[in-house]
Amino acid sequence: MQHAEVARQSGSSSHNEQHFMIGNLDESEFVKILHQHLSPTAPIQLEENLCGREPQVRKIKQALYAPGRSIFIHGDRGVGKTSLAQTVAYKHQSANRDPVFLVCTPQTTFGTIMRGVINALEQPQRIRHSGVATTHQGTLGVPGVASYQVIRQPQQIDIAAAAADPVDDLNHVVALLSQISANTKEDTVVVIDEFDRIASDEERSHFADFIKQIGDQKITVRFVFCGVGESLDKLLGAHGSCYRYLESVELPRLSWDARWEIVDRAAAALKVTVGDRPRFRIAAISDGFPHYVHLVCEKLFWEMFEDTEPCIAAGSGHYTSAVAASVLGIEQHLKQTYDSAIMQNADGFEEVLWAVADHSDLFRRPDSIYESYLNIMRAANRTALDRHIFAARLRTLKSARCNQIVATNGAGWLHFRESIVRGYVRLRAEEQGVELALEYQAAKVKQGSWPQRGAKRGRFGTTQRDWQQMQNPDEEDSGS
């Protein structure tokens, strides 16, 4: 038995001087395995680490075979766009050259980014490093007035030259790219990331013309764009004619199976197990945003590694400490958004925010949120606000005073302005002993092994996909 073996090894290690509390791994071995499988902030570049994106990888692969077609990956911040783009870029790219990665900033123009692309492509080919190289990141343009950032792995770009010499003219760009295509036989992929950050509508619309032109000219250099946004119209403008040259890939939140896959793969590599409860809670808190799964797992395995007792299974103590460590280790932007919204929890804002985050529906009606709120307050044994005061708190959460953490759509349904915030709200509640997002519990956990807080399945605004997942928990999320 694998675990018996691990236990035996762990037991014997306790007699040694060293403290190897996961199997017989020393710290460097542990860290190596941990970071091969968990990367809370760095994008994924290897297909084997990309969980739950098979339909999208397949779709992009087919699009890359189609001459002249560009790809646009769009979805919420943190959902995994860069990871998908980089993984497919490495997969499709010929072996003797690395893909080109460029990241837009608000000042990016069509001309400067194209100069960056052309400079990168004109560099002599090089032997690719085996494995994944370190990311080099530079800023193009005058310091402090970045035009765009260039991430190269591991090629370098002449940044100053690119900034000084933009190629604004579309025909000129197309001619240069045609020449490069004619001279090179290999597949080359260019990823233009964070496209939504380009501030100028006009600059963004130049890319629509560009996509059409390179489609017509059958240029072999393939472009993959990534941007935050629910629709391409908002990103590219109403340039209907460019859409037939584009494969649009909308990235949904990760399915439950994909969330669990991240946990299970890392645990298996470390030869430990994560019990049902923490495994479920990690997936529930994440809300399908993989960053949280990676982060909480990383902290969880560190807790196990640093335990003074040898361990092969994550206990509830490890999990609780991992949640607390994750709250502290979170990206500053998310922490600030939350802290300023709850205003030191003056007047019970924190629990109202928890109530908003208590369901996987992206859009929720105020009465559904109030129902969550009452459940939460009951379970936590706290006194609930009256419905009218609650409604006033919700309105305040939408105001500038609370950084507009919550917004409403035209029909008055509420949502987090940035969907990724919801995972952090859940994490903060969990740290204080309040489990949110239990609504999947009945459907997902077949053995019903831990207490339920009277949560119900979605009644309001549940999407087709949410329903499918709730009805058929084992079914893969087909995505879009």
Ligand X SMILES: Nc1ncnc2c1ncn2[C@@H]1O[C@H](COP(=O)(O)OP(=O)(O)O)[C@@H](O)[C@H]1O
Contact residue for Mg ion among 10, 39, 82, 109 (CB under 5 A): 82
Residue 149 within binding range of Mg ion, rule CB under 5 A? no
Contact residue for ligand X among 37, 59, 74, 81 (CB under 6 A): 81
Residue 39 within binding range of ligand X, rule CB under 6 A? yes
Burial of 346 (0-12, 13-18, 19+ CB in 10 A): exposed
- CB-nearer residue toward Mg ion: 104 or 438: 104
Which structure tokens are listed for 368? 């559904």
Residue 253 within binding range of ligand X, rule CB under 6 A? no
Which of Mg ion, ligand X, none lies near 39, with the C-beta cut-off 5 to 8 A by kind? ligand X
Q: Name residues whose C-beta falls within 8 Å of residue 402's C-beta, 6 or more positions apart in sequence.
A: 340, 341, 343, 349, 396
Rounded CA-CA distance 180/169 in Å is 17
Burial of 452 (0-12, 13-18, 19+ CB in 10 A): exposed
Residue 153 within binding range of ligand X, rule CB under 6 A? no
**How is residue 419 annotated by DSSP?**
T
- Containing 438, the helix (H) or strand (E) segment is none
Contact residue for ligand X among 21, 37, 53, 286 (CB under 6 A): 53
Residue 266 within binding range of ligand X, rule CB under 6 A? no
Q: Among 101-109, 216-224, 290-298, 329-337, which window interacts with ligand X (CB under 6 A)? A: 290-298
Residue 290 within binding range of ligand X, rule CB under 6 A? yes
Contact residue for ligand X among 6, 13, 25, 43 (CB under 6 A): 43
Q: Name residues whose C-beta falls within 8 Å of residue 462's C-beta, 6 or more positions apart in sequence.
A: 361, 470
CB of 26 to Mg ion, least distance (A): 34
Q: Among 80-88, 119-127, 274-282, 424-432, which window interacts with Mg ion (CB under 5 A)? A: 80-88
CB of 210 to Mg ion, least distance (A): 21
Contact residue for ligand X among 97, 152, 291, 299 (CB under 6 A): 291
Contact residue for ligand X among 77, 91, 234, 444 (CB under 6 A): 77
Count CA atoms within 13 Å of residue 393 on its CB side: 26
Q: Tokens 């924190």 map to which residue?
A: 350
Q: What backbone torsions phi and psi does residue 411 show, to the nearest 5 degrees?
A: -85, 5
Distances 241 to 210, 331, 438 between C-alpha atoms, Å: 11, 39, 45
Q: Which residues bind Mg ion (CB under 5 A)?
A: 82
Contact residues toward ligand X (CB under 6 A) are 39-44, 50-53, 77-83, 262, 290-291, 294
